[in-house]
């Protein structure tokens, strides 16, 4: 992708997703993800309706009139966007691929965090760690993240959810908000998930295409596994084959929901035909 085309794409995503984060997600994000606690700000004279438990008795005694302590939320947080860039993300049968859909969601979340003065980092993975951008603040940093999401070319094609989860345990020393975005076509990752969910505020966002859900009866079809590059001829007219695929897909879906729920993490399913705006708003409100 040449520089001019890339900049146009970055700008297009910035305009769309920043508008969403400014007008829709900003307040929901702030109320959903709390700061690390309350810190002392100042003392002021007592006003009707103030909590008497906040009275500063030393200052009250000194001035012979009631004063209260004022506390502010220690707001600054860190968000990590953990994004699957394996080859299966290239798949798409509607207006966008899973990768493009994930990029928009990630950009919207990043601008929401920026609006609340939080740091944002990015971790791209396949069955290896492909790229790690440490958390920072600022618009230029967010735009760099979007550029990487758009143009990064991974060296590997397969998926292993365990890899980024184990990596996070080593690089994130303080509690962070973690969004893990993938189609979650991976081997078992429950153990690694539990470790991360215990320390961080973790949400899994499973992105899928409608064609992922079932095989259509269209006869004998050559199908390419985007991650292994192997071509297999599939007899989609066979009820047995379609049932086996149905069971396979339900296993992936069930593993995702069970793993995140049992680990105490948040879980969100989102089809590329869904409005991710409504999905995220519903999730934020449910948690808020």
Tell me the pLDDT of the chain (288 aa) as tens digits. Answer: 566 676 677 777 777 677 666 655 556 665 666 555 555 667 888 888 888 888 899 988 988 999 888 765 555 789 999 999 999 888 777 677 899 999 989 998 998 888 888 899 999 999 999 999 999 998 899 999 999 998 999 999 999 999 999 999 889 888 899 999 999 999 899 999 999 999 999 999 999 988 888 888 888 888 877 777 788 888 888 889 889 888 888 999 999 999 999 999 999 999 998 888 888 888 888 876
> What was the pLDDT predicted at 115?
82
Contacts of 235 (CB under 8 A, 6+ apart): 219, 220, 241
Q: Which two tokens stand for residue 124?
A: 């791209």
Q: How far apart are CA 204 and CA 268, in angstroms?
A: 6
Output the six-digit token pair for 184: 């979650």
Coil, helix or strand at residue 128: coil
What is the CA 75 to chain-centroid distance, rounded? 19
Instruction: State the pLDDT at residue 73.
Output: 53
CA atoms 200, 208, 242, 225: torsion sign = negative
Rounded CA-CA distance 230/225 in Å is 5
Q: What domains does the chain contain, in order, with CATH numbers?
A: 38-73 (no CATH), 75-287 (3.40.50.410)
Angstrom distance (rounded) from CA 108 to CA 18: 6
């Amino acid at each position: 992708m040449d520089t001019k085309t890339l900049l146009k794409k970055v700008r297009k995503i910035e305009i769309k997703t920043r508008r969403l984060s400014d007008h829709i997600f900003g307040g929901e994000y702030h109320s959903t993800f709390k700061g690390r606690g309350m810190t002392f700000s100042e003392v002021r004279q007592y006003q009707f309706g103030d909590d008497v438990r906040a009275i500063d008795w030393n200052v009250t005694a000194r001035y012979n009139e009631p004063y209260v302590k004022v506390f502010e939320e220690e707001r600054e947080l860190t968000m990590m966007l953990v994004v699957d860039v394996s080859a299966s993300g290239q798949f798409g049968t509607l207006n966008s691929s899973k990768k493009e859909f994930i990029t928009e969601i990630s950009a919207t979340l990043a601008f929401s965090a920026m609006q609340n003065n939080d740091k944002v980092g990015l971790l791209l993975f396949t069955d290896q760690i492909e790229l790690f951008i440490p958390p920072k603040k600022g618009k230029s940093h967010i735009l760099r993240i979007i550029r990487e999401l758009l143009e990064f070319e991974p060296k590997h094609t397969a998926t292993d959810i365990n890899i980024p989860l184990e990596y996070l345990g080593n690089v994130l020393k303080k509690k962070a908000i973690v969004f893990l975005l993938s189609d979650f076509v991976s081997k078992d990752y429950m153990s690694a998930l539990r470790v991360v969910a215990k320390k961080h505020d973790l949400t899994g966002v499973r992105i899928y295409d409608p064609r992922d859900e079932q095989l259509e009866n269209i006869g004998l079809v050559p199908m390419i596994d985007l991650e292994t590059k192997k071509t297999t001829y599939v007899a989609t007219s066979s009820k047995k084959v379609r049932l086996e695929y149905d069971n396979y897909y339900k296993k992936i879906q069930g593993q995702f929901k069970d793993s995140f729920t049992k680990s105490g993490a948040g879980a969100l399913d989102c089809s590329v035909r869904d409005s991710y705006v409504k999905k995220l708003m519903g999730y934020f409100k449910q948690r808020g």
